[in-house]
Amino acid sequence: MPLDPAVIRASLAVVERRADHLVRYFYAHLFTHNPDVRQLFPTELSEQRDRLFAALTEIVLRLENTEQLTAYLSALGRDHRKFRAAPEHYPAVGTSLIAAIRHFSGHSWTPEIEKAWTEAYTVIARVMIEAAGAVPPGTPAWWDAVVTARHRSAPDIVRLTLRPCRPYPFLAGQYLSLCSPRRPRVWRPYSIANAPRADGTLELHIRRVPDGLLSTVLVNDLMPGERVMLGPPVGDAVLDPCSPRPLLAVAGGTGWAQIRSLVEQRAAWAEAGLPAPATVFLAARNDADQYDLDAVRALVTGQPWLEVVLAAPEDGGDREAAVELLREGLRRYGAHRHDGWAGHDIRLSGPPDLAPAVTGLLLALNAGPELIRHDPVPPTFNRTRPLTSSDWFLDRRDVPWINRTERGLRDEAGQPE
In CATH, which of 3.30.70.260, 3.40.50.80, 3.40.50.300, 3.90.550.10 is domain 247-375?
A: 3.40.50.80
The pLDDT tens digits of the residues spanning 16-65 come to 888 889 989 999 999 999 999 998 888 877 777 777 877 888 888 888 88
Higher pLDDT, 216 or 5: 216
Distance CA 37, CA 85 (A): 9
Strand partners, 190: 176
Exposed/middle/buried for residue 12 (C-beta within 10 Å: 0-12, 13-18, 19+): buried
DSSP designation for 410? B
Angle in degrees, CA 227, 232, 233, rounded to 5 = 110
Distance CA 148, CA 227 (A): 9
CB atoms under 10 Å from CB of 14, counted, come to: 15
- Chain-wide mean pLDDT for the chain? 87
DSSP designation for 414? S
Task: Kindly indicate the confidence band of residue 316, based on its pLDDT and cuts at 50, 70 and 90.
Answer: low
Question: What's the CATH code, domain 143-230?
Answer: 2.40.30.10
DSSP per residue over 250-297, as a string? EEEGGGHHHHHHHHHHHHHHHHTT----EEEEEE-SSGGG-TTHHHHH
Distance CA 21, CA 242 (A): 53
Taking residues 159-185, what's their average pLDDT?
A: 96
pLDDT given for residue 377 in this prediction? 61
Give Cα 198 to chain centroid, integer Å. 27
Q: Could you tell me the fold of the domain covering 5-133? A: Globin-like (1.10.490)
Q: Give 3-state DSSP helix, strand, coil % of the chain, rounded to 5.
A: 45, 15, 40
DSSP per residue over 373-399, as a string? EE----S----SPP-STTHHHHS----
The residues, ordered by sequence, that sit 6+ positions from 348 with a Cβ below 8 Å of its Cβ are 249, 250, 255, 354, 355, 358, 359, 372, 373, 374
Give yes or no for residue 291 having a pLDDT over 50: yes
Q: Are 371 and 245 spatial neighbours (Cβ–Cβ below 8 Å)? A: yes
Distance CA 215, CA 224 (A): 16
Instruction: Please state, for a pLDDT cut of 90, what percent of the chain lies above it.
Output: 64
pLDDT given for residue 415 in this prediction? 35
pTM to 2 decimal places: 0.81
Distance CA 79, CA 131 (A): 10
Q: Give residue 297's identity as a one-letter amino acid code.
A: R
pLDDT given for residue 255 in this prediction? 95
Instruction: Please state, for a pLDDT cut of 70, what percent of the chain lies above it.
Output: 89
Give yes or no for residue 314 having a pLDDT over 60: yes
Question: Long-range contacts: 294-299, Cβ < 8 Å, 24+?
Answer: 295/260, 299/260, 299/263, 299/264, 299/267
Alpha helices in 34-180 (DSSP H): 46-61, 66-79, 90-105, 111-133
Taking residues 355-384, what's their average pLDDT?
A: 81
Taking residues 201-213, what's their average pLDDT?
A: 93
Return the domain boundaries, the chain.
Answer: 5-133, 143-230, 247-375
Q: Are 335 and 342 spatial neighbours (Cβ–Cβ below 8 Å)? A: no
Coil, helix or strand at residue 243:
coil
Give yes or no for residue 375 having a pLDDT over 90: no
Task: Kindly indicate the confidence band of residue 157, based on its pLDDT and cuts at 50, 70 and 90.
Answer: very high
pLDDT given for residue 65 in this prediction? 86
Distance CA 403, CA 74 (A): 13
Exposed/middle/buried for residue 288 (C-beta within 10 Å: 0-12, 13-18, 19+): exposed
DSSP designation for 406? G
pLDDT given for residue 274 in this prediction? 85
CB atoms under 10 Å from CB of 93, counted, come to: 18
Give Cα 103 to chain centroid, integer Å. 33
pLDDT given for residue 414 in this prediction? 35
Element (H, E) at 176: strand 175-179
Distance CA 371, CA 75 (A): 24
Distance CA 234, CA 27 (A): 29
Tell me the CB-side half-sphere exposure of residue 416, using CA atoms within 13 A: 23
Q: Give residue 154's identity as a one-letter amino acid code.
A: A
